[in-house]
Amino acid sequence: MKPRSCPHILVADPLHPSGLAVLAETSGVTFAAPGKMDRATALAAIPDADALIIRSGTPADRELIAAGARLRVICRAGVGVDNVDVGFATARGVAVMNTPHGNAVAAAELTFGLMLALARHIPQASASVGAGRWDRRAFVGTELRHKTLGIIGLGRIGSAVARRAAAFDMRVIAHDPNLRDDDTRRALAECVTLDELIARSDYITLHAPLKDATRGLINAARIAAMKDGVRIINAARGALVDEAALADAIRSGKVAGAAVDVYSAEPPAGNPLVGLPGVVHTPHLGASTVEAQEAVAVEAAQQVVDALLRGVYRNVVNPQALST
């Protein structure tokens, strides 16, 4: 590997211009940001890169990381790092970062939009009026007020949902095995076991990361233990839910409705939930606001520059990589 005067950053997914401006205005780094890179182009470009910035579109898997002989940092502009082989990156001494702050409000607001859409049948009513009908009786809804909202995962997004739920006069319960006893977030909700949350909630919303321990967290057995008529919102990761089991429960009427922004495979071709009456769909829009896209892009660019030029590593999900 030839020594180089200046570290090089590869941006393999489209990034908001404000993030690219941070890179352009930083002397001491070079960068390439050609937009969405296909697999072959990314594999050809990675050997030259000291850092890689991606969104959810580029899998930073074993093959890509192994091809990055100079790679020191992978930064995910967003929260979920399930498209990065973190274990392999750690073994190679590559730090993996995310940008957890920028899109929490966007995700929480979408969650509320989905919850209201379920409670008031907004998408179906809109389609009905658009089709020339005027049927008010078909779309009588229910109120969120005094309903119990179960939040699985009380991190930044789950906490933002809890604050908003309080303003809607909901009873808020939450389950998060990672909360320490003295964590101030405990004040936002009544913290309960997962079983208790499952049994008590009228609405269940997921805000947990996807990892081995959480894959299929909402499965047939847990759905059977829920209240009849429960509504489920998933704007976190599709594979947290056994989608076939949820589809069965919607068909049987056990689950009154589901709002789904994320899918085990995206786009969700052949997904059993797609097109089912009672399901509200959006195409992974949790972070898709102008404000969030800009915030995560700037956060990602700044974090990478600080790591490469100043040795300051923030929001590292695999701190062990820094000691290998």
Residues that are catalytic: 237, 266, 284
Residue nearest to ligand MLT (CB): 78
Piece of 74-82, 137-145, 274-282, 312-320 that binds ligand MLT (CB under 6 A):
74-82
167 neighbors 174 (Cβ within 8 angstroms): no
Strand, coil or helix: 157? helix
Question: What's the burial of 289, exposed, middle or buried (CB within 10 Å: 0-12/13-18/19+)?
Answer: middle
Residue from 56, 90, 111, 201 touching ligand MLT (CB under 6 A): that is 56
Tell me the residue type at 175: H
68 neighbors 93 (Cβ within 8 angstroms): no
CB of 286 to ligand MLT, least distance (A): 5
Listed residue (262, 254, 256, 263) closest to 279, CA to CA: 256
Q: Which is nearer to ligand MLT, 158 or 286 (CB)?
A: 286
Scanning residues 265 to 294, which ones bind ligand MLT (CB under 6 A)?
286-287
Residue from 16, 55, 207, 231 touching ligand MLT (CB under 6 A): that is 55
Q: Does 207 bind ligand MLT (CB under 6 A)?
A: no
To 10 degrees, the CA torsion angle through 319, 288, 143, 145? 40
CB of 56 to ligand MLT, least distance (A): 3
CB of 237 to ligand MLT, least distance (A): 7
CB of 78 to ligand MLT, least distance (A): 3
Strand, coil or helix: 301? helix
CA distance 101 to 261: 20
Question: Which residues of the chain form contacts with ligand MLT (CB under 6 A)?
Answer: 55-56, 78-80, 103, 286-287
